Amino acid sequence: MWHRHSTVKKGMLLGFLSVFSFSVFARGEPSEDQVKAAFVYNFAKFVEWPANAFTSKDAPIVLCILGKDSVGAALQLLEKREVQGRQLRLSSISHLNEHLQNDSCHILFIANSEAARQQDILNELGSAPILTVADNAEFVKQGGMISLYVEAQRVQFAINQNATHYNNLKLSARMLQLARIPR
């Protein structure tokens, strides 16, 4: 009975997130890229960064997009939305090191154009409190935090909890309930 209740609860929460995700974009059926962008936006709502990750109480949450792909283009539509009482600011970047020195990334979306360099990018990040997200299922296996992928014609996500703990990020229990968590 508990398992059935848990499954129903997960389905309801996933439905809520999906409906909310669709409302982020214009009317009509959203594209796969828009759904993935909405997931990234929702991830920002369910992450707690350490206090020292922000320069001030009203500093924006900066979503850095490394590389180019269609999900990155869909993310541009989220510019200046509010998340956790902060403005979401987007930054398209080509090199990570300048942003690490300035502490100017809170979320790093790694585009498919950078898939071959994912491991090097993660090594460069070290233990910086930056939520890392990529659009492929292998990312969490390489040490990334969140992988977006499509399964059974639905956008899914997996979370690497070891990576989030190592980088001092706390994820909401609600978010963890919806994710696949590889062992």
pLDDT tens per residue, range 144-180: 999 999 999 999 999 999 999 999 999 999 999 988 8
Q: Domain residues of the chain, as ranges?
A: 2-178
Q: For residues 123 and 16, which has the higher predicted lDDT (pLDDT)? A: 123
Per-residue pLDDT, 15: 43
List the structure tokens of 86. Answer: 């902060």
Query: CATH top-level class for 2-178?
Result: alpha beta
State the pTM of this model: 0.83
> Which of 150, 159, 168 has the alpha carbon at shortest distance from 43?
159
**pLDDT band for position 74 (cuts 50, 70, 90):** very high
Torsion of CA 152, 121, 160, 147, to 10 degrees: -10
**Residues ≥6 apart with Cβ < 8 Å to 40:** 63, 71, 75, 78, 107, 109, 133, 148
For 19-62, the pLDDT digits (tens) are 444 444 456 788 999 999 999 999 999 999 998 899 888 899 99
For 104-160, the pLDDT digits (tens) are 899 999 998 999 999 999 999 999 999 999 999 899 999 999 999 999 999 999 999
